[in-house]
Structure 1
């Protein structure tokens, strides 16, 4: 039986330390998995920042468009784990690469998470692929707007779902979504500073 892993102090701080402005904690199952992997502290900080933005997105969506069905728990899990494959491909924390996508999905499956949840690790960078759900699109959006990166093609896909569900005018939904994402983007510097405060390796 393998020895239990002791997570580094940096990882524990990335997962649990207060942030300014505050960042919500990751779902407990995700935090426990990251601790068991002794994941890179910067990865944990990144996942926490993107998860926090996903909470803002989903809560706004539920209030703004109550007729639109969205699996809140799935979006938040997806945001909290989308890059978990970078615990395996650590070089992709500081450079380009997509090997972490499939590796993340496989890692989550190996730890007992369902395919419907593990999928986000593989879909977060491929929002134009057929069959993408609203949940997939929201995880992808959170992964962009946390650092104030706006991707019109991705936002148009979210906008189409909003307009269809609300029955409202597209331009009205565009203005509402744009205001939300702009407001979230205004906090990007704080989230980027939080992430940068943690090392890539323990």
Structure 2
């Protein structure tokens, strides 16, 4: 199924520009252009903004607390901003379960000239393993904690990676990560309300 194309609707523009509560950072210009080109559902744009905003907060924390751990901030934030873009062609997965959007999103991004290194997050955000990069773990974590969902095995992978890079005890890294995730999760109701205000259809 191909995504619809056309000019962006007023509803999509609102989803991309409204401040939100708590205020949400804007998506990267490249992603805004892509969503407008695809005439993305407003609710999808709102969701991507919520997850991208959380990913920004996590990236800020990583850079401050673990400067010894190199990661590609731009790729991670692009991944968070586009991870569900496959739902432009699987609208049923905007309001219900399903994984068809994952491969579809990856292929869609490739078709739009996005390189594999940045397109991969659309395919991998819902599954993770010890072999994935810190960027992938950041996107997957943001996609959970934006709505206050905590996933122990995912967070443990991130803790282990941080502990190895920093030389800090695992328990110490866990406590610090747990604290920042708790703070992010505390604002989940506002992000959920922001997403729900925007319609599935444009």
Q: Same fold (TM over 0.5)?
A: yes
Distance in 2 of aligned mates of 1:172 and 1:159 = 9
Question: Following superposition of structure 1 onto structure 2, how do residues 91-110 of structure 1 map, counting pairs within 5 Å?
Answer: 91-110=92-111
1:187 Cα deviation after fit:
0.4
Per-residue Cα deviation, 1:118-170 (whole angstroms, up to 9, x for no partner):
00000001112x63111111100000000000000000000001100110111
Per-residue Cα deviation, 1:52-75 (whole angstroms, up to 9, x for no partner):
000000110010011001110011
Say whether residues 1:143 and 2:124 are aligned partners.
Answer: no
Distance in 1 of aligned mates of 2:99 and 2:164 = 32
User: What TM-score do you get using the length of structure 1 for normalisation?
Assistant: 0.96
1:21 Cα deviation after fit:
1.7
1:20 Cα deviation after fit:
2.1
The unaligned stretches of length 5 or more in structure 1 are none
- Matched length: 198
The unaligned stretches of length 5 or more in structure 2 are none
Question: Following superposition of structure 1 onto structure 2, how do residues 51-130 of structure 1 map, counting pairs within 5 Å?
Answer: 51-128=52-129
Distance in 2 of aligned mates of 1:171 and 1:142 = 21
Please name the residue that 1:12 is paired with.
13
Please name the residue that 1:165 is paired with.
165
Please name the residue that 1:40 is paired with.
41
Q: Root-mean-square deviation (CA), in Å?
A: 0.9
SS, match of residue 20 in structure 1: coil
Please name the residue that 1:50 is paired with.
51
Per-residue Cα deviation, 1:56-112 (whole angstroms, up to 9, x for no partner):
001100100110011100110000000000001000000111000000001100000
Please name the residue that 1:28 is paired with.
29
1:17 Cα deviation after fit:
1.5
